[in-house]
C-alpha cells in the first residue's frame, strides 16, 4: 500500500490500531510493556493484535519486545502530522 492508503487504513480504526500507531510513532521506539501502559488498556490482546497488524503493513517492526517505527511508518506519520497542522490553520 502507498502512504495515502495506509493513512486511510489507520483512520478506519482511530481508537484501535490508529491510536496504537500514533503512540509508537510519537516515541519512534518503545518496549512492548511501555506501549501497553501508554495505551491504558487493561486487556493486552487487542494491543498485541494491533502491533501485529501494523507490522504486517510495514509500519513498525517488533523484535524481542522492542517496537520500532519503520521508514514507511515514519513517512506516514510525518504526512499525518502535516495534514493535521494544515487543518488547524
Phi/psi for 64 (5° steps) reads 55, 40
pLDDT of residue 32: 85
Q: Show the domain range for 72.
A: 3-88
Strands 60-63 and 66-69: antiparallel
pLDDT value of position 26: 93
Q: What is the pTM of this model?
A: 0.87
Q: Provide the pLDDT for residue 6.
A: 93
How many domains would you assign to the chain? 1
CA distance 63 to 78: 23
> Using an 8 Å Cβ cutoff, are 80 and 88 in contact?
no
Distance CA 52, CA 55 (A): 5
CATH number at residue 21: 1.10.10.10
Question: In order along the chain (89 residues), what is the average pLDDT of each group of 10 residues?
Answer: 90 91 92 86 83 96 92 94 66
Could you tell me the three cell numbers for 23? 503512540
pLDDT of amino acid 89? 46
Amino acid at each position: 500500500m502507498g502512504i495515502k492508503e495506509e493513512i486511510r487504513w489507520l483512520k478506519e480504526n482511530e481508537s484501535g490500531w490508529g491510536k496504537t500507531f500514533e503512540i509508537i510513532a510519537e516515541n519512534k521506539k518503545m518496549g512492548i510493556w511501555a506501549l501497553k501502559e501508554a495505551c491504558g488498556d487493561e486487556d493486552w490482546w487487542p494491543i498485541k493484535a494491533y502491533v501485529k497488524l501494523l507490522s504486517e503493513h510495514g509500519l513498525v517492526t517488533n523484535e524481542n519486545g522492542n517496537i520500532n517505527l519503520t521508514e514507511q511508518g515514519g513517512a506516514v506519520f510525518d504526512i499525518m502530522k502535516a495534514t493535521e497542522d494544515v487543518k488547524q490553520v
